[in-house]
Structures are given as C-alpha cells and as structure tokens.
Structure 1
Amino acid sequence: MKKFMLILLGVFLLISGAFSFPFEKDKASAAPIISPNQTADQIADAIIKTGTSLIGKATYSRTEYKSTYPYKFSCATFIDYIFKQNGADLATYNEDYMLRLGVAVPMNQIKKGDLFFFDVDKSDNNPADHIGIYLGNNKLLHMADSQQNIVISDMTAKPYYTENFVGARRVIPSYMPSTPLTTADKIVNRAYTMMGNVTISNSVNNPSTNTFTNGGLVNYIYEQNGITLGTNNVSQLASKGSYVARANLKKGDLIFFSSTAGGTTPTIAAIYAGNQKFLLTDPKKGIISRVLFVPWYDTHYVTGRRVIK
C-alpha cells in the first residue's frame, strides 16, 4: 500500500549548461487535453472506464512504472495514468501532493470521479499513502496491493476504509477549460500538443525543426496565441507584463525559478496551467508538467508575471 517513492531531491537534469532540477519518472505520452464541450460527469465516466478496463491487465509495483501492457502501477501511478489518458494531467503521482489538488469534499457530497485518500502507516509524517477513485454507491476503484492488483472495493465491507480514510478531493473541474476556450486555455493546450515533439537546446531556436531554448519555447507558444513577448531571454521574460503573487496565479501566467534555492535571478521560465500545475522544458523529454508542491520548485520559485491582458 505504501506510495511509489519519488526521488525529488538529489536527482538532477541539466536544463541548460548552467543549472539543473529534479524530475519525476515519465508518465503516459497522450496529450492531456479536455474538450471544452465535455462535462465533469463525462470526464469522470471516461476515467473510470479506462481504470476498469485495466483490471486483470496490470500488476502492482512500488518500484516500476509501465504504461503499456503488461502494465505496472502503484496506487498513485494508476490514478495519474487513468486521469491523464482522459485529459486531466495531475502532473504528479505523489499521494501527498494529490491530496492538495482540487478542493476538499465532505462525505455527504462525494460523487463519482472524486479522489479518496487513506493513511495506513500512522508512524510516518506522510498524510496519505493510498489513493483510489470513487465510483459511487460506496465503491472505490484502486490499485490495492500486490495480491489484489486493480479492484473495485466496497468501502463499507471492512474497517480498513473508515479507519484509515483521511479525505476526499474533487479535482476534475479544476482541469476543465472555459467555453469557448480562453487565450490561457489555448496557450496551455498548445504546450501540451507539443509534448514529445520538441527538442530543447541551450542556444538554438528554430521553429521549423521544433528546436527551442527554455525561454524560446515560452516566447514561441505565446506568440502563436497572439501574445508578443519579444524575447527568448528568461531574465527579460521575467520583466514582461505585471507582477502576480504566487497565491493569485491563474492559468496562462508565466512563472520563474532560479537555479539556486532562495535565488532572485530567474533562470527557468514556465507556463502556469492552473491547480498548482505548470509546464516547462526538459533537455531530454522536451516539455514536462510538474506541481509547485515539489520541494525543489517550492524553494527555487522566484516570481510570477501576468502577460495576458
């Protein structure tokens, strides 16, 4: 039941020749974009359908993640996978971070698609170590353990669920775009559709070959959506638009990180995608998604800028 352990500190990737940052393991490759005409119930149904279709096809693993048959998931990578396959990128498979996404839901208001969290090991400081998705009628879909793998459990069947339950979170609405799409929606969607199709360089910006620097990619994506930033330089990008406090960030804002903890010089530019999620470059993977809860990003955060009027 214990969570799939993420190496968040001490593992670094070069984003340019001058600095590095920690990363999580690759997730599913499908571009996670929700259509503006989908309802929250439709998205929940699709997520649940994907999850139940994997029953008997996936096995439990705390140390290995495999998103093709034969699938291997922990309880949290399973949730991350089925959400992302249906357009909702949680951008993490750490249960503690997932517990901070979306909004808390009281038990008398729960509905299908909500995430349920449990704390089995009370001896550690982690607020959650197991997660599942609520199906309705007291049923929970989850990757249970190495004996059961993916199962549908009745939460009234045994004390385990009531004794270890620590909360429910509603996350699906926070990933839904506006209707019609806003400029911010289009910017985030553009970044997602480019996932897996860009090469990150230290110095080259060539849209014809989808080769960009960190700042160059940000500049390009905004320009493609009618926002002229006029520079590929990260420090110059950090002076564009107007300052926005971290607590007031909105989808489409630019956020910046320093290569040094507590530093004030921005060296990484990223696109804020809402619900604590952002998109940035990775020298090996192109574009990746992360959440601000990750300690490295939390301690290296510099500023936010609003450039969409």
Structure 2
Amino acid sequence: MTKRDWVMKSTIAVMLSTSLLMGGQVGQAAAYSQDSGKSERIVSLTKSLVGKDYKFGAEGPSRFGSAGLATYVYNQAGVKISDTISKLYQGGTKVSRTNVKAGDLVFFSSNGKGSPSFMGVYVGNDQFIYSSQGESKVVVKKYSAYEKKFLGARRYLSETSNSNTTKPNTSTAATKLANQVIKNGEKYLKTPYKFGSSKTTTKTFDCSSFTQRVFKEAGIELPRDSRQQSTVGKTVSLKNLKKGDLVFMKASPTAKSDRITHVAIYAGDGKILHTYGSPGVTYSTFFNTNWERRVVKVQRVIPE
C-alpha cells in the first residue's frame, strides 16, 4: 500500500465513523425529546385527575382503581401498559427508590414486604399520586413519607439520553424561545379581553392578537387572525405537545364544524396561556377539560 492509498483509506474511515456517530446522536436526541414529551404529558394528566373518585378496577375517565390510574394516563400519552398492579410490577425497568424520575410507577405495601397492594405515578418534587381506596379518591402524597412502605419502582418510558449525549443546540434554542414567549405573555396577565382588538394596542387583546403580540416580542411574526395563524409552522399531534406550541380550537366540544374560533399557547405543566371573556389574559388547565376537547389542530411555529 502506497502512502497515498493509506491516507485516502484513513480519511474515508474517519469520515464514516464521524457520520455514524452523528447519526446515532441525532437519533438519540430525537428519542429523548419524544420520551421527555410523553413524561410531561403523563405527569400533567395525572395531576389533573387529583380528586377523582376511587373504584376498584376502574380505568377512568372519572373513576380509577390503583392500577387503572397509571394505565389511563399512559394510554392517553400513547404508551400501552398492563392493567393490573402485579403485571405492572413485573414489567418495565427496575429503578431504585432514590433514582425515580417523573412518570415512573412506584409500588407499595402496608409493611414494605411481599407483593404490592397499591401503586402510583411519581410526579417529581418528592410527590406521587395514586387512587386511594381508603380515601376513596385520587390523592397526592409525599413520596419520602412512604419510604417504609416502598417495594419498588418501574420505568416504562425508554431512556435515550446519557452523560455522553446532549440535546442539539437547536433544541436548547427552541426551549429558550418558548420560555421567552411564555414570559412575554405573563406580563399581560389580567389584561382585558376585547373581540377584534387592534394589533397595535396592549390595553386589550382578543385571542389571536394576544398570540401575535407575544410571539412578535420573541421575534416570530404571525398573521393577525387565528385561522391564518393555524397555517403557519408545522402541524404536530396532541400527544407530542410542547411548550410554545399554538393550540387551535373550535367553538365547543360538540360543534360539528371544525371551524377555528380560538387559539391558545401551550405553557407546559398541563396549562395553556390565552385570553377570553371576563378573566382576560389567564392560565387555564388544559388536559381533560373542554379546552382539550375543543382542539382542532396544534401548530409548532418555534423553529426546532
């Protein structure tokens, strides 16, 4: 082999290795984003069900058994899991008590031994939520307070990120921009609603002049009308909803026409930021409400 041949062969090998490495990182980053979104949706859905009635074996949407609560919220997030405590305890990936993450399933018994008798969804901040037979409803509990009753935890959402994998800069920039949009909107909280409000004023807003204003302040131009805004950006599924996405709605959950009459900004943590009626600019709970049931489409206008 000549020196020239050796150099060419080595160069090709390096290029191939780099290409494979970059391809792997892109795939990992995409999977991370998808599972992160599912985890957020599961947590938001679970929080929205606090106070719902307990019923043995029930899987929602108004009453839940211990396993049924987890089955329901995972199903709503597009993840199929088993429907009994024993099967759920046997499946997934084992996680230690101190390494649980939001969205993990946690299992308990009265004395911390034997088979699990009840279970819940860990939602972060040292809290888990479960459907309690004793309290006859879905409740929030302090996770650390149940240490002596803890049997195990299971993770059903795949992990694709690790210490050697980082999200691409575009994702970081998109998150930063989404946070800026929400921050822009928050400064107008309680600003009165006025249908047909001028795009040049910040003393009143209607739904689309509000979204136009806060996105413009973040450097993104949108049309004035909500139906025109619904044609901008990329259409995404509701289960892949991210902070900063625009959510477009029809007149009511039962309306036969999908004609868009309202637009809101998904603000994360199961909330939308928008304006309507007497509250004016406000936050509203989104999942499992009439707001969600009115959704026609979701548009992602923040570049990824």
TM-score (norm 1): 0.49
Greater share of helix: 2
| Structure showing greater Rg | 2
